[in-house]
Structure 1
Amino acid sequence: MAESIWKGGERKHVQGFFIRIGARYRRIRKRPKGQPSPQLYAYKTEKLQELERQANDGLIDLYYGDESHICTEGYVPYGWQFPGENVHIPSQRGYRLNIFGMIDRNNRYEGFTTSESITADKVADFLDRLSFKIKRDTFVVLDNASVHRGKLIAELRPIWEKRGLFLFFLPPYSPHLNIAETLWRILKGKWLRPVDYTSTDSLMYATNRALAGLGSELYINFAHVA
């Protein structure tokens, strides 16, 4: 017992030390191993800031797009449980729900989910249908994944641009510039509950319900969490 009390006191002492020197206990984010060219990064971030200003002034619509997935074998190590309650996730063959989604800073969301792989054809079809719905010039920020840089999308870009839909590619190794990454983190870490993983149907329903509720029931303050 004495040893455990000493360890607890030592832990508090270490925490207090870091707080006194200005450190804060925060989530450590994963970042790609590579680094973008400083010149390309500076050029792209400047252009992105200009797009943000135009969107803020109401001149354009600006979405951030990305892929993610939800799996029934999601890692859910902890959850709130009442005395006598035994929350568990049944062991089963994993099911994966793939998502392509786009969100803006006002929580407007466009996207689709599928149990199949997300391919360049699927992304191109989604963007093509979107190009007929836009009401003003619309920019979609994407990373450099192969499904975004394929031949089909390259061929369709001039057609989309005539309709007012433009693609803006981030510099390589820069996921932190894409606010869609924040959406996926909050979706998986906050909006989906451990009980949602108990079956494929419940996981699909909870995921689609959360995405459909963006901007009306669920909100992200990107100024604070992006």
Structure 2
Amino acid sequence: MLKVVEELTLQQMSINHRHRDTRTRATGLLMLERGLNVRAIAAQLGASGQSAYDWSHAWRERGICGLMGAHDGGGHALLTDAQIAVALEFAHAEPLTLGGIAQRVEAALNGPLPCKIETLGEALKRNSFSFKRNRYALKKKRNEEAFTMKQATLEKLQQAAREDAVRLLYLDEAGFHGSPPVQRSWSPRGLPHQVEPNHHCRRSVICALDFGGNTLIHAARTGTIKAPDVECFIDSVLASGNGLPTVIVLDNASVHHGISEATRQRWLLEHKTVLFYLPAYSPELNMIEIVWRHLKYRWRRALTWTREIIDAGLSALPSRYGTDFQIDFYENLLTMGTKDVGDQTKSTARLLDLDSSAGSNVVDTRLGKSRR
């Protein structure tokens, strides 16, 4: 038996509730209260007899919330929460294909999977899993104590560079081919854009990122960059310095360790410059790695450079840094996770992309990872 206030509530829900399913359930309960049998209710409301019983049970158990939160169509879930939890545990523990996860779930539960394998994939997606290419891990190979110490030192140097107390330079080399990296782009269905391969036409580029001024100094050559080339490039960068003490951040490439001790002493005496070597397997500490990624995969147009135009194209690309595009590093850029530079999730930068071909826009990026 319904109380007066309950009957009034159901009457209002059957008339005024914005969801049709909830109005139907309230109407069904009122009809049950007036003595109509389940078959008659099902026939008038276009529902099954079991549905009427379900509404009555939901009302007794949860009241109004039971009516509004009841099952509103579609098949019941084939995978239980416990089965999904087992699948998530296996997917998190080791790299597995969908078939491998299904096999382990069946072995753990001593029975066949109660659904198609695609349903298992959808359950993984709903729990923030995705099918991605595995990556080589560098963390286990590096010295965590040295990494932490260098990271803390770089944080202080960055703060000093922002206050114009020191000149902080990140230096590195990279190779560019005539053909751009394969990228995704919009194209007519079935007619993807084609890029002419040209991997034989190659140039080596050496760059220095001035962290304080957020400028990029670069030079390119046809052959491999060697230690004398690095020394010559650093000499030219220091010659255009502002007189501040200078710290040059380098990775452990052999060309960087090939700089003679006499040259280092000369730089120290003449330009107050010291070299700061990063620990092994720590690319996320080198800010210029972010610039390389965007130069290659974002700012370069997906056009092939021939031998006739590669030098002009490669000279123009980094020269546009600071005018057409730029990365504005936040203050806490070095508050990092432990992933490699391609997938940082705790280090944030803002990319100001003013490429005339795409229009002016501001893009929030993660370290090596951008989103529009």
Number of corresponding residues: 215
Instruction: Report % sequence identity.
Output: 25
What's 2:274 paired with? 166
CA distance in 2, matches of 1:156, 1:181: 26
CA distance in 1, matches of 2:240, 2:192: 48
The answer to whether residue 162 in structure 2 is matched with residue 42 in structure 1 is no
The answer to whether residue 231 in structure 2 is matched with residue 124 in structure 1 is yes
Greater alpha carbon shift after TM alignment, 179-188 vs 75-84? 75-84
Aligned-CA RMSD value: 2.9
Could you tell me how far 1:109 is from its partner in structure 2? 0.7
What's 1:188 paired with? 296
CA distance in 2, matches of 1:151, 1:123: 8
User: What 5-or-longer segments of structure 2 have no aligned partner?
Assistant: 1-115, 331-347, 349-365, 368-372
SS in 2 for 1:221: strand
The answer to whether residue 207 in structure 2 is matched with residue 207 in structure 1 is no
Could you tell me how far 1:193 is from its partner in structure 2? 2.1
CA distance in 1, matches of 2:186, 2:312: 22
CA distance in 1, matches of 2:143, 2:192: 51
Distance 1:125 1:31, change over 3 A: farther
Contact map agreement 2:201 2:306 (CA 8 A) in 1: no
Among 201, 208, 226, which residue is 1:102 paired with?
A: 208
Distance 1:219 1:26, change over 3 A: farther
Amino acid of the structure 1 residue aligned with 2:257 = R
Contact map agreement 1:41 1:171 (CA 8 A) in 2: yes
CA distance in 1, matches of 2:286, 2:160: 17
Higher relative contact order (CA 8 A, sep 6+): 1
CA distance in 2, matches of 1:126, 1:34: 34
CA distance in 2, matches of 1:134, 1:30: 39
Could you tell me how far 1:64 is from its partner in structure 2? 0.9
TM-score, normalization: structure 1? 0.81
Amino acid of the structure 2 residue aligned with 1:199 = T
Distance 1:182 1:49, change over 3 A: same
SS in 2 for 1:121: helix
CA distance in 1, matches of 2:137, 2:219: 26
Distance 1:183 1:151, change over 3 A: closer
Contact map agreement 1:35 1:173 (CA 8 A) in 2: yes
Amino acid of the structure 1 residue aligned with 2:126 = G
Amino acid of the structure 2 residue aligned with 1:17 = N
The structure with the largest alpha-carbon Rg is 2
What's 1:138 paired with? 246
Among 127, 130, 135, which residue is 1:17 paired with?
A: 127
TM-score, normalization: structure 2? 0.51
Contact map agreement 2:181 2:296 (CA 8 A) in 1: no
CA distance in 1, matches of 2:132, 2:215: 28
Contact map agreement 1:62 1:104 (CA 8 A) in 2: yes
Q: Name segments (4+ residues, structure 1) moved above 6 Å.
A: 6-10, 23-29, 83-86
Could you tell me how far 1:84 is from its partner in structure 2? 9.5
The answer to whether residue 175 in structure 2 is matched with residue 65 in structure 1 is no
Among 254, 257, 262, which residue is 1:155 paired with?
A: 262
SS in 2 for 1:47: helix
Distance 1:30 1:140, change over 3 A: farther
Could you tell me how far 1:104 is from its partner in structure 2? 3.2
SS in 2 for 1:40: helix
User: What 5-or-longer segments of structure 1 have no aligned partner?
Assistant: 1-5
Could you tell me how far 1:43 is from its partner in structure 2? 2.3
CA distance in 1, matches of 2:248, 2:133: 28
Could you tell me how far 1:99 is from its partner in structure 2? 0.9
What's 1:3 paired with? none
The aligned runs of 1:207-226 (5 Å cut-off) are 207-223=314-330, 224=348, 225-226=366-367
SS in 1 for 2:160: helix
CA distance in 2, matches of 1:29, 1:211: 28
